[in-house]
Structure 1
Amino acid sequence: MNKRKNMVYSVKFYKEILKKHYIANWGNNYLEKTWNSGPINKLSNQFTVLEFPPHGERKMWTYATCGMSTFSQSSPIELHIFSKVQDDSLLELLSSVVYFHNVDQNLNLEHTVNFGKPWQLSSICTYGLISLPYLDGPDLEVLYSAEQDKTIHCYWLIPITLEERDFKIRYGLEALEEIFDSKNFNYIDNMRQSVV
C-alpha cells in the first residue's frame, strides 16, 4: 500500500513541478487536456497535454506533454510541439509518441519517431525529430528537482518529412539542422515541402 501511495505522490509531484516550470516559461494561461482513446489509457502516469495559446510576440500555439516520463526513469524527458492554429489532433499525436516512449523505446534527444500519420491535415511531415528547444533555450530545457536529485529535459518535437529523417540518419543531425537554417524553414507551416 505504501509503495502505491509513494508512486502516486511521486507522479503528482513530478507533474506539479513540471507545470510550474512550463508556467515560468510560457505563462499561466493554459488548458490541461487529455486524449482518452487508444492504448494511452493503459499507462499509469496520468499523462496530460498542456495547451498554451499565442501571447505577446509568440504567434503560435504550444502543446506540451505533462507526465510523458516519471522520476523512476533514468533520463526523464518531456516534449512540446508548435502549431499555427489551435488543434486537438495534436493531443492524439503526442499521446501516441508518449505511449511509444513508455512501451517500446525510451526516446531522447536526437531521436526520430514515426507519427504514423500526417502531423496536421495532409502534411507530408509524418515524423518527429527530438531537438533542443532552440526557441526557448536552456531555461526551458533543464528542470532540476533537488528533492529527487533528477533532471527533466524538455525538448522540442519538430515535425519532419521522411526524406529529412533519412537525410538525418545518413548525414547526421548537424547536417540537417544546417539545411534548416540555410533554407529558413517554417517549423509551423504544416504544408511545407521537404528541405532535402
Structure 2
Amino acid sequence: MADFPPCDDVCGTLEQHVRNFFDGREIQAFTWPSGPILEHNPHFRVLRVAPSSPKKLWTYISVGGWAATDAKNVGTEFILCTATEDIRAVELLAMTVFYHEGGKLGLGHTLPLGEPWMAGSQCDYFLVSLPYPFGPDLEIAHVGDRHVEFLWLLPITKAERDHKIADGLEALESRFEEAGLRYWEINRASIV
C-alpha cells in the first residue's frame, strides 16, 4: 500500500462503503505519484477490487473525488472496470478526479482523454454513467449530511460521443444495450 496522508472521516466512510459492497474480495489502495493530483487533492486514492473469479473484471474506484465539491456537501467518486489488472486505471482515475475539480463532471457528461484509455483501443473518451454493472447499493453513500454518488466511467469512442451529443444519452445507452456492449474489451469496435 502507498504512503497516504491521514484519511479524514469522509474518506474512511467512503472506503468502508466500498469494502462493504465488495465484501470478501481483495481490495488494495493506491495513489498516483505523478502530476498535480496529490497537490490539489491530498485525499485522492484508488481502491482496486480484485475480481470474484479469474474471468471477471477488475474494479477501480476513486476515493477523494468528493473533495472537488466539498463546500456543496455533495460529491462524486468514479468507478472504472478493466479486463486485466492495470495501473493505467489508477492514472485515469487521477486524471478524472483532477479534471473534476470544481464539480465539472456529472451524469451524462463526457471527458476527452486525448489518447486511448488503454493501448490499442479506439475509445478515447469516458462517458460518466450510472454504475449499471453494480446497481444502486454502490451508487449512493451518505457521510453525515454529505451525499456522495459513485458514477461509472464508460470508455467510448469519438463517434459514440458524437452520437450522444446529437441524439442524447438515452439513445446512446439504448444502442449499447442493443449491441450487448462489451465495454471492458480494449479492442471493441464503435457501435455507431
1:66 corresponds in structure 2 to 63
Please list every run of 5 or more consecutive structure 1 residues that lacks an aligned counterpart in the other structure. 1-7
Q: Which letter does structure 2 place at the counterpart of 1:153? A: E
1:42 corresponds in structure 2 to 39
* Between 115-124 and 151-160, the greater mean CA deviation after superposition: 115-124
So what's the TM-score if we normalise by structure 1? 0.88
2:76 corresponds in structure 1 to 77
1:91 corresponds in structure 2 to 90
1:100 corresponds in structure 2 to 99
Q: CA deviation at 1:56?
A: 4.5
Deviations 1:49-91 (A, max 9, x none): 1111101497100011010122724230001110010000111
Identical aligned residues as a percent: 36
Candidates 174, 181, 184, aligned match of 2:180: 184
Please list every run of 5 or more consecutive structure 2 residues that lacks an aligned counterpart in the other structure. none
Residue 52 of structure 2 is aligned to residue 52 of structure 1: no
1:17 corresponds in structure 2 to 13
Q: Which letter does structure 2 place at the counterpart of 1:190? A: I
Residue 148 of structure 2 is aligned to residue 171 of structure 1: no
Alpha-carbon separation, structure 1, partners of 2:153 and 2:13: 21
Alpha-carbon separation, structure 2, partners of 1:42 and 1:140: 28
Alpha-carbon separation, structure 2, partners of 1:168 and 1:125: 14
Change in CA separation of 1:182 and 1:85 when aligned onto 2, cut-off 3 Å: same
Q: CA deviation at 1:189?
A: 0.4
Alpha-carbon separation, structure 1, partners of 2:54 and 2:91: 27
Alpha-carbon separation, structure 1, partners of 2:71 and 2:17: 19
Deviations 1:154-173 (A, max 9, x none): 01110000000111011000
Q: CA deviation at 1:33?
A: 0.5
Residue 117 of structure 2 is aligned to residue 119 of structure 1: yes
Q: Which letter does structure 2 place at the counterpart of 1:132? A: L
Deviations 1:77-115 (A, max 9, x none): 001110010000111111111111116x52111111011
1:3 corresponds in structure 2 to none
Q: Which letter does structure 1 place at the counterpart of 2:62? A: T
Change in CA separation of 1:122 and 1:94 when aligned onto 2, cut-off 3 Å: same
Alpha-carbon separation, structure 2, partners of 1:175 and 1:93: 26
Segments ≥4 residues shifted beyond 3 Å: none
Alpha-carbon separation, structure 1, partners of 2:89 and 2:114: 13
